[in-house]
Structure 1
Amino acid sequence: MDFCAIDFETATHEKSSACEMGICVVQDSKIVETKTWLIKPPSFPYFSRFNIGVHGITPEDVKDAPTFDEIWYEAEEMMYGTLMIAHNASFDAGVLRGCFEHYGMFTPKLNYLCSIQLAKKSWNYLPKYGLKHLAEHHQISLNHHRAGDDAEACAKISLLAFEKLIITENEEIHDSFLNKYIKKL
């Protein structure tokens, strides 16, 4: 399996307000790299108190950070040609689209899959499918609501799910029942 897991934290309710992005790269079913970027959002210096309460990232933390358009090219290189997976993927895909729109950037053709859907197909007996609950269930350490940690936990959960579903190559996703869950950015 080759894919990247992605996670965003946001400064406000606005989709373009990414203040942290994490990407975990998986090649041949092994995690090869995890990277996290703090991002100065367009709303800077304004951050919602609610959002700070969730992730703990403050305006002070990002005052010298680059903006999304300054870091995307490095991130895109890490993701090139791979499937993108996120936990609650509609949120993260929405943030990615919101950032592209805000900065007037070209939206790349990316396919993405939600790890919640993978988890529900793999472990249909669990009472909850949140990232924290799944990490605890699989004994994966997690510093929840920090983008790099969340992306890496998503990657580990996805690898376990693919193993349980006996999916060993990306092509098998398209040939299986999971194909209906793949979305385009």
Structure 2
Amino acid sequence: MADPWVALDFETANENRGSVCAVGMVTVQDDQVVDRWETFIRPPRSISGFSLFNTSIHGITAGDVENAPTWQETLPEIVSRTAGRVVVAHNAAFDLGALRDACDADGLAWPELRYACSLVTARRAWPERLSYKLGYLVEDLELDLNTDQHHTALWDAEMSARVMLAAMDRHDAASLHDLLDALHVGYGQVLADGRWTGSAFKSPYVSGSKTRTPLPETNPDADPAGALYGLTVFLTGTLSSMTRIEAQQRIAQAGGFPGDKGLSRRTNILVVGELRSTEMLDGRPNSSKVKAAAKYRAAGQEIEMLDEAEFLARLAS
């Protein structure tokens, strides 16, 4: 019998990550959801205002939480339901960050939790996919057809659990721990003393010195009308559709110049893939490369930032 684990999702009232206004949790035992629980939450008073943008996403208003338990009242129930079990969330960097920030806002100590990210895991489980957003995964993997419930805390928590279960099935893993171990995904931790680490890819140990792979040479016969022809293109973050080396090869084949040693005044395009949690700030890019690109652009340099979908479209044009 495998150890039970718990999937969790928070909704927030505004742009402050700690403004939790709803939580959903499901408990998984032996590949089955055995318990479901959700509640509205009155966000910490100092960050309790509801924004129109957040309400447009999840539909929760100030009136919905008027008689709901406070965060101080809700936290013990969350801790009780985890009971030392691994916590799973889709984009766990946000949900566990919401928990930490809500505790900080109310002056509460962080609970001790060990957690895993179903978004990080999905990137390893299905490397061929172009998107790992929860709604897309649910639809593509046919996990649940009731997608109009997306962005309710309980639905998101259960779908996060079902993504993990589908990954376990695909990789013939007997337990959540076996799946993470097979895919080289590490646990994150939240500690009561104020320390935390994220759930991220583990790099397999390779002995010996590392050698830099030379950049591919630009194709002299590329179409001059191509969207990347003659442009210097730099990559930051992780692409879900191809490795960095493959992307550099595609850039060179299209007549572009793949950048490698950092942004410069010759850089024309910065392609931003999925960033690590340490390169995000409240869900916004905080990467040094993104900051550098913004600085160059403010100084008048013609540098453009593309996401992965836009980059793929340029390669195809």
1:1-185 map, 5 Å:
1=2, 2-43=4-45, 46-139=49-142, 140=144, 141-142=146-147, 143-173=149-179, 175-180=181-186, 182-185=187-190
> Residue by residue, what CA displacement relative to the aligned partner does 1:110-162 show, whole Å, maximum 9, x if unpaired?
11111111211111112211010011112213311110010011111111112
List gaps (5 residues or longer) in structure 2. 191-317
Normalized against structure 2, the TM-score is what? 0.55
> Residue by residue, what CA displacement relative to the aligned partner does 1:17-49 show, whole Å, maximum 9, x if unpaired?
000001111112210111111001125762011
Distance 2:104 2:41 in 1: 16
Please identify which structure carries the higher helix content: 1
Paired letter, 2:52 = R
Helix, strand or coil at the partner of 1:9: strand
Count, aligned residues: 184
Q: Could you tell which deviates more after superposition, 171-180 or 102-111?
A: 171-180
> Residue by residue, what CA displacement relative to the aligned partner does 1:84-118 show, whole Å, maximum 9, x if unpaired?
11011100010011112122222122111111112
Paired letter, 2:189 = K
Distance 2:66 2:48 in 1: 8
Paired letter, 1:134 = L
Find the structure with the greater CA-based Rg.
2
RMSD over aligned CA atoms reads 1.7
Q: CA shift at 1:9, angstroms? A: 0.5
Distance 1:114 1:171 in 2: 12
Helix, strand or coil at the partner of 2:7: strand
Q: Could you tell which deviates more after superposition, 43-52 or 90-99?
A: 43-52
Paired letter, 1:27 = Q
Distance 1:68 1:171 in 2: 30
What is the percentage of aligned positions where both structures have the same residue? 34
Structure 1 residues 175 and 137: CA distance shift in structure 2, 3 A: closer
